[in-house]
Amino acid sequence: MARISVIGESLVDVVNRQPFPGGSPLNVAVGLSRLGHQVMFHTEFGLDEHGAMIAGHLREAGVQLADGTQRLVATNQAQVKLDGDGRASYRFNITWDLPDDVVAPGTVLLHAGSIGSWLEPGGSKVLAAFRNSPPSQIRSYDPNIRAELAVDHDAVLERVETMMRLAHVVKLSESDACWLYPAMDPAAVLEHVLDLGPQLVVLTRGALGCMARTAGQSFTQAAWVTQIDDTVGAGAAFMSGLLHGILDSPVARALCGEGPSILESTAVQKALRCATASAAVTVSRAGANPPDTGELAALLAGDR
């Protein structure tokens, strides 16, 4: 299977005083590994008890850790509050850095996202990895805005749009879109982001599924009908499912310049279906718990 590098923050989500490994990039790395991909994760966490929990979680999922990941820092935390419908809100205690001279890895796909892409000093190193990425490497990006930390709207917007310009694939949520572009409706956001340079832009809409745009094509994909336990990790599971659906497909070959530049509509739709199915499995059970290959295949093969 494809080799993938993921760059971004890792932390523990504290739910009812119980810590769980989390962070959007970490969950994407775990999700992709569970779906059979070789994944290298570039992140930072401490040598403390919470750091040991994160390391064990990644090791169990088969994710490889880049050199210098565990450092003499306190592992980051997010206090998670669930409402009556299982929707999660977060309050963060986070600092973010990476080892010096992070080089864009020689892998098929480089994914970055969330707080790690704009919180300094690590954010500049994530940006450098995207800028130094070789032309044949697919780059994907998920801004996953956390308004509690994004206090300087203009600065965060500038960094996010810089990352979008460098990415082939951008996924953002409806809440990301509202924070970044409060005056635009979802269709206008897709059009604006597509104009920045990505070849595929996807906007998730919770129970409404998702919308997507490529050059000259628009897509919608309904959400799967499922009983929601909570929404922790739903966006990351969507992202890992989307990338899984893209890799080893005509979409991946077009993105990396090995095939026609126009993305094949049937393959894009299949990737969106894979993404929504991955998210559906995750929200049906507690915590950030993305599906493995068998679970995803079973849902995709069944009735909606």
- State the first-to-last Cα distance of the chain, in angstroms, to the nearest integer: 28
Q: How confident is the model at residue 151 (pLDDT cuts 50, 70, 90)?
A: confident
* β pairing state of 169-173 and 200-204: parallel
For helices 122-131 and 153-166, give the axis angle rounded to 10 degrees: 30
For 187-224, how does the pLDDT look when each residue is reduced to its tens digit (9 = 90+)? 999 999 999 999 999 999 988 999 999 998 999 999 88
For 241-282, how does the pLDDT look when each residue is reduced to its tens digit (9 = 90+)? 999 999 979 999 899 877 666 788 999 999 999 999 999 998
Q: What is the helix (H) or strand (E) element at residue 12, kind and residue range?
A: strand 11-15
Q: How confident is the model at residue 304 (pLDDT cuts 50, 70, 90)?
A: very low
Residues 41, 69 contacting (CB under 8 angstroms) = yes
Query: Which residue, 145, 163, 286, 153, is CA-closest to 204?
Result: 145
| Both structure tokens of 103 | 């080089």
CATH number at residue 106: 3.40.1190.20
For 85-124, how does the pLDDT look when each residue is reduced to its tens digit (9 = 90+)? 666 666 777 888 887 767 767 799 999 998 899 989 999 9
Amino acid 36: pLDDT: 94
Q: Which domain holds residue 228?
A: 3-301
Residues 154, 124 contacting (CB under 8 angstroms) = no
Which range of 74-83, 127-136, 219-228 scores highest in mean pLDDT? It is: 127-136
| Both structure tokens of 260 | 């026609």
Amino acid 221: pLDDT: 95
Lowest-pLDDT choice from 20-24, 38-42, 154-158: 20-24
Amino acid 289: pLDDT: 85
d(CA 139, CA 135) in angstroms, rounded, equals 10
Q: Quick check: pTM over 0.75?
A: yes
Q: Averaged over 2-27, what is the pLDDT?
A: 86
For 171-194, how does the pLDDT look when each residue is reduced to its tens digit (9 = 90+)? 999 999 999 999 999 999 999 999
For 152-176, how does the pLDDT look when each residue is reduced to its tens digit (9 = 90+)? 999 999 999 999 999 999 999 999 9
Query: Which residue, 177, 208, 176, is CA-closest to 191?
Result: 177
For helices 234-246 and 24-34, give the axis angle rounded to 10 degrees: 50
Q: Is the pLDDT reported for residue 48 higher than 90?
A: no
| CA distances to 80, 82, 127, 250 from 86, in Å | 11, 5, 34, 37
Alpha carbon 245 to its chain's center:
14
- Number of domains the chain contains: 1
> Alpha-carbon dihedral of residues 295, 299, 300, 302, nearest 10 degrees?
140
Q: What is the helix (H) or strand (E) element at residue 303, kind and residue range?
A: none
